[in-house]
Each structure stands twice: as C-alpha cells, then as structure tokens.
Amino acid sequence: MPAKRALIMHPTDNVATAVEEIQGGEEVAIPVVGTALTLCAIEAIPFGFKIALQEIPRGQIIRKYGETIGKASRPIAKGALVHIHNLEGTRARGDLAKKEDA
Amino acid sequence: MSFLGYVRSDGSVGTRNYVLVIPQGIIAKSVCDFVAGTKGILTVDHGSGRTANDREQIARLLIGLGKNPNVASVIVHAASPGVGYPELRAERLADEIAASGKRVEVLDPATDGGTYGAIVKGIQLARLMVHEASKLRRVEVGDEHLCLGVKCGYSDTTSGIAGNPAVGYLYDKIVAAGGTAMFGETTEIIGAEQAVARRAATPEVARAILDAVAVVEEKAKASGQDIRTVNPVPSNIKGGISSLEEKSLGAIHKAGTAPIRGVLGYAERPAGKGLYFVDNWMGHLSIFAGYAAAGANLVLFQLGGGGVAGRTLLEGSPSVVAPFLWATANPKTYAAAQDSIDFYSGTVIEGSETPEEAGERFYRTVIEVASGTLARSETLYYTEPIDMYLQEPRF
C-alpha cells in the first residue's frame, strides 16, 4: 500500500499536516526538497490534522511554518496526533494573566 | 492585465454600477425594494447613544460606501427622527460623498411630505438615477484600478496550506500591477505579528502593526478568558487548527509578499496604492463593509470549512456594493457547497495544480468577476445586516 501524504511547511517544523485520512499503523511520506521523510502514524491522523515528526517533550515548542504555534502540554510521541489535547497556545491567554495577578 | 470597468469622474473605476440609498431605514428599504439596480444597507445601530468617535466611524462607513467606485450615484435620507447628531446629518454625508463628483440627492421627510412623501420622491429619483447610470459603458482599464479586501474564515489547515497562499499569489500580482490590496483581522495575526511587521515598508508601519496587536492582546488578557475557548473558534479546531498562533501563521499567507504600505482603521481609505494592513475585527458582517467603505471594488472570503455539512448554501452580501467571492482549498467544503464557491484551490493539495497555476486561475476568475461576470453570491437577493466595528461603550 502506498504511503499516505502529509506536508511540512518549513524545514525546522516538528509537525506535518495530513492531506489524506491516515489510520494508525500506516506509513506516512512527507515530501521535502530532494527526498521524502517517512514515519509511521501511531494513531489516526484525520485530514488537515498534524502528526509529530519527532518525540516532543512536555513544554517544548511546537513549530509549523517555521514559527511557534504553541508548546507541548504533555509528552508527544513521534507519529502521534498533535492537537488541542497535547498542544497549548501561549498567546493572548487571559486565564494565565489572571493566575499571574492572583 | 486589464478588466472592463466603469470609469467615474474622480478617476476611480467600478466593477459594478449601483445607485446606493443610505442610511438604513424604512425610506431606503422602500426605495430599494421598489427600484431595480439599487443597493441599501442593513444595520442594527443608528448611532444613538454612541460616542463622537464611534459616530464619526459610522459616518466614515456611510460616506465611504457612497464614494466607492461601484456606486454611480447616491440618495441620502434624513435618518430616524431623534438621531440628530451632527456627524450623521444627511447634508453632511451628502456633501462629503458629492466631493467625489457623484450625483447625490437628499430626502428629508420634514420637507418632502413626511415618510410617505420621502419614499415617493425617493422612488422617482432612484428610477431616474438608475436609468442614467445604465448609460455608462464598461471600458478596458488596467489592473491598477482593482482594490481588493480579503478575510479568511471558518479556517482549517487547508487555509494555511493552499487557500491563503492562493490569495497571496493574487495579492502579489495585483500589487505588482499597481493595484491596491487590503488584509486585516488583528486578533488573527497574534503569534504572527513579527513576520507581518518584517514586511512593513517603513519602521513606522512596523511599529503601528505591533501596536495594533499589543492593544488587542492586552484586551484579551484583561478579559481573564482563556483565548482558546474563544479563538480559534470551534470550526477552526474541528478543522485541525490547534492554537491562535497556528491560525495566525496560516492566515498571514493571504497577504502575499509585497511590502505593507500602511495600517488603516476600519473603513479608512488607503492614501495610495499597494498592500495595506487594516486594524479590524474578523467578523464577516463587519469586515467586508469596512473594506468596501475603504474603496474595495471586489472582496474575497477564503473559506476553510472545517467540516461544513453537505448541501451548504453560502451567502455573501455584507460587502454592500462590492462583489463578494467565495474561495476554498478544502475538497470537502467544495463538494458540499460547489454552487456557492467561485474559486477552488484544493487542486494544490491534491497535486493536480502548482500554487502558481492555481493563483493564475484565481486571478482570471477575479478579472472575470471584476468585468461583470456575477459572483455566485450575487445570484441571491438575501442580504445580511452589517455589524459596524465600533469599539467604544454606549451610553
């Protein structure tokens, strides 16, 4: 079975975006200039959702488009789905500001 | 590199040729219902209890819509009895619109026989004005006369990968041709503001971009709310966007790569040609009227869709006088709402077109609509009310 496709937006990114429905256990190919990065999805990655390209420890920055899109709120395994359950945005967080004030 | 447009006496060029009847009210509504070729606006706010700044912003919106190149001539009626603020007086609005060289007529129930008399007079005037406008022919003009406004919405990850980059290609092409292009949504450059500010034409513009973001972010923090429960909105999250930063970084692709010439307020007209950042709010009922008031003669909604239901009807009237195009890069959205969508760039994700090929096709679509082909949304009568972007408290 051919590998499923995901896209990386910048060479320094640690996540890629699935452009097909990916099932757990399937191989994922990510086209990069001159070669293709492959890894195994350890769980389902729906169309448009992100897959971790490497292990991301809790608190580490998650990068897409070569920029920070948040940090890991729990440890993320290579090949795992990255979404709101394990990624938290850090900007404009009124809830955090409130805690600082308290 | 040209389109067929209506050349106005001030040198601006329209993609449409309407008679505009403002502000909202029973007089405008009655005239528009009765006379073909007219446009009116719906708002829920008449300025009552508004601060001077916000009343001026309402005036700027109304005057700007009147001056929009898609408008041939304008009827202004005196607003509801009791709203007599100087900023919003019919004569003031009429005078400022007339400075653009357009014919402007004023209806005043006090001197025109009450509400009934003003409606009758308005219908008679509007019929003559629409007929007069119809004598104008489209002529071939350069793309420097295009002025575009864009918003991305119901964003999902297809927006950042293909949809917004297609808009960016289009924007670069229009700006390179000497045209004008506006983008905005200040909340949705939070997390991407450094990348946006780096593209400012001057240090002052960079400062203004960062300042605009700081104001919005401070308000978000002062609210005590977890922004993740507000923005990204549920449809963004359903579409795979995990944080406001991720949404912003995808969103800014629609601005292309040209230098940013300035930062504009809501409904503020750019001083020259080129790319501008507008310090506005994302709501589609707010943002598009603001772009049209700033002079946009065509506007774009780049739609993610993030799982819209099948057989969705997308309506798009909040730009009042500017043709409103729907674009998407999401194959599911396109399949669900094909009859509403003017441009599809999911081909880039599917691998059947390069971003450049999709961008060129988008450009040709825009030129066709600018030249008179109807945007899909223009085949509907349905009109949405405008949510004017006013920021001060009401008293």
Domain boundaries, chain A: 4-101
Assess whether B314 and B284 both reside in one domain. yes
Q: How many CB pairs under 8 A join A and B?
A: 104
Q: Which two tokens stand for residue B72?
A: 């041939």
Q: How many domains are contained in chain B?
A: 2
Average pLDDT of chain B, as a whole number = 94
Please name the residues in contact with B207: beta carbons below 8 A apart, sequence gap of 6 or more.
Answer: none
Q: Which residue of A has its CA nearest to B332?
A: A47
Tell me the nearest-neighbour CA distance from B273 into chain A, angstroms.
Answer: 29
Assess whether B166 and B55 both reside in one domain. no
Residues B43-97 have pLDDT tens digits of: 988 888 999 999 999 999 999 999 999 999 999 999 765 568 999 999 999 999 9
The B18-22 sheet, strands edge to edge: B38-40, B18-22, B71-77, B103-107
**Is A12 near chain B, with CB under 8 Å?**
no
Whether A102 shows a pLDDT value over 60: the answer reads no
DSSP class of residue A67 equals: E
Average pLDDT over every residue of B174-189 = 96
CATH code of residue B84: 3.40.50
In this prediction, what percent of chain B has a pLDDT beyond 90? 83
Which residues of chain A neighbour B228 with C-beta distances below 8 Å? 84, 88-89, 93
Nearest Cβ partner for A17 among B157, B223, B330: B157
Instruction: Please check whether residue B6 lies inside any domain of the structure.
Output: no
Contact B243 A89 (CB under 8 A): yes
**Is A20 near chain B, with CB under 8 Å?**
no
CB-neighbour burial class of residue B204 (10 A; exposed 0-12, middle 13-18, buried 19+): exposed
Please name the residues in contact with A82: beta carbons below 8 A apart, sequence gap of 6 or more.
Answer: A15, A49, A50, A51, A52, A56, A62, A76, B242
Answer for the pair B328, B345: CB distance below 8 angstroms, yes or no: yes
DSSP class of residue A99 equals: H
Which residues of chain B neighbour A65 with C-beta distances below 8 Å? 160, 249-250
Distance from the first to the final alpha carbon of chain A? 55
Contact B245 A68 (CB under 8 A): yes
Nearest Cβ partner for B249 among A50, A67, A97: A67
In this prediction, what percent of chain B has a pLDDT beyond 70? 98
The distance of Cα B249 from the centroid of its chain, to the nearest Å, equals 22
Residues B314-358 have pLDDT tens digits of: 887 789 999 999 999 999 999 999 999 999 999 999 989 999 999
Instruction: Please check whether residue B12 lies inside any domain of the structure.
Output: no
Answer for the pair B108, B78: CB distance below 8 angstroms, yes or no: yes
**Is A97 near chain B, with CB under 8 Å?**
yes
**Interface residue of A51, A69, A74, A84 to substitute, partner B, most B CBs within 10 Å:** A69
**Is A75 near chain B, with CB under 8 Å?**
no
Reported as type and span, the H/E element at residue A97 is helix A94-101
CATH topology of domain A4-101: 2.30.130
Assess whether B113 and B154 both reside in one domain. no
The amino acid at residue A58 is: R
Residues B237-291 have pLDDT tens digits of: 988 999 999 999 999 999 999 999 999 999 999 999 999 999 999 999 999 999 9
Assess whether B123 and B170 both reside in one domain. no
Assess whether B158 and B128 both reside in one domain. no
Name the B residues in 94-153 with CB < 8 Å from any A CB: none
Which residues of chain B neighbour A49 with C-beta distances below 8 Å? 157, 240
Separation of alpha carbons B82 and B88, rounded Å: 12
Assess whether B129 and B229 both reside in one domain. no
Assess whether B119 and B150 both reside in one domain. no
Coil, strand or helix at A87: strand
Nearest Cβ partner for A50 among B221, B242, B245: B242
Contact B227 A69 (CB under 8 A): no
**Is B157 near chain A, with CB under 8 Å?**
yes
Residues B203-228 have pLDDT tens digits of: 999 999 999 999 999 998 898 888 87
Average pLDDT over every residue of B140-164 = 94
Assess whether B356 and B220 both reside in one domain. yes
Assess whether B92 and B122 both reside in one domain. yes
Q: Which residue of A has its CA nearest to B224?
A: A94
Cα–Cα separations (whole angstroms), residue B25 to A9, A23, B75, B147, B294? 49, 56, 12, 29, 23
Q: Which residue of A has its CA nearest to B249?
A: A65
Whether A101 shows a pLDDT value over 80: the answer reads no
Give the DSSP per-residue string, A2-50: PPEEEE-SSTT-SEEEESS-B-TT-EEEEEETTEEEEEE-SS-B-TT-E
Coil, strand or helix at A52: strand
Is the alpha carbon torsion for B276, B277, B280, B281 positive or negative? positive
Instruction: Please check whether residue B390 lies inside any domain of the structure.
Output: no
Instruction: Please check whether residue B389 lies inside any domain of the structure.
Output: no
pLDDT at B64: 98
Contact B244 A89 (CB under 8 A): yes
Assess whether B111 and B164 both reside in one domain. no
HEC assignment per residue over chain B? CEEEEEECCCCCEECCCEEEEECCCHHHHHHHHHCCCEEECCECCCCCCCCHHHHHHHHHHHHHHHHCCCEEEEEEECCCCCCCCHHHCHHHHHHHHHCCCCEEEEECCCCCCHHHHHHHHHHHHHHHHHHHHCCCCCEEEEHHHCEEEEEEECCCHHHHHHHHHHHHHHHHHHHHCCCEEEECCHHHHCCCHHHHHCCECCHHHHHHHHHHHHHHHHHHHHCCCCHHHCCCCHHHHHCCCCCHHHHHHHHHHHHCCCCEEEEECCCCCCCCCEEEEECCCCCHHHHHHHHHHCCCCEEEEEECCCCCCCCCCCCCCCCCCCCEEEEECCHHHHHHCHHHCCEECCHHHHCCCCHHHHHHHHHHHHHHHHCCCCCHHHHCCCCCCECCCCCCCCC
**Interface residue of B186, B241, B242 to substitute, partner A, most A CBs within 10 Å:** B242
The ipTM is: 0.93
**Is B354 near chain A, with CB under 8 Å?**
no
Q: For the whole model, what pTM was predicted?
A: 0.93
From B79, B103, B133, the end of a domain falls on: B133
Instruction: Please check whether residue B10 lies inside any domain of the structure.
Output: no
CB-neighbour burial class of residue B229 (10 A; exposed 0-12, middle 13-18, buried 19+): exposed
Residues A20-53 have pLDDT tens digits of: 999 999 999 998 877 778 999 999 999 999 999 9
pLDDT at A99: 74
Tell me the nearest-neighbour CA distance from A30 into chain B, angstroms.
Answer: 13
Nearest Cβ partner for A92 among B239, B244, B246: B244
Distance from the first to the final alpha carbon of chain B? 50
Coil, strand or helix at A101: helix
Answer for the pair B241, B157: CB distance below 8 angstroms, yes or no: yes
**Is B237 near chain A, with CB under 8 Å?**
yes
Assess whether B364 and B232 both reside in one domain. yes
Write out the residue range of the structural domain in which residue B203 sits. 144-379
Residues B280-311 have pLDDT tens digits of: 999 999 999 999 999 999 999 999 986 677 77
Instruction: Please check whether residue B3 lies inside any domain of the structure.
Output: no
pLDDT at B307: 64
Residues B351-387 have pLDDT tens digits of: 899 999 999 999 999 999 999 999 999 999 888 899 9
Assess whether B179 and B124 both reside in one domain. no
Name the band, by pLDDT with cuts 50, 70 and 90, for residue B312: confident
Cα–Cα separations (whole angstroms), residue B166 to B48, B206, B254, B302? 42, 25, 7, 9
Nearest Cβ partner for A93 among B195, B227, B349: B227
Which residues of chain A neighbour B220 with C-beta distances below 8 Å? 92-94
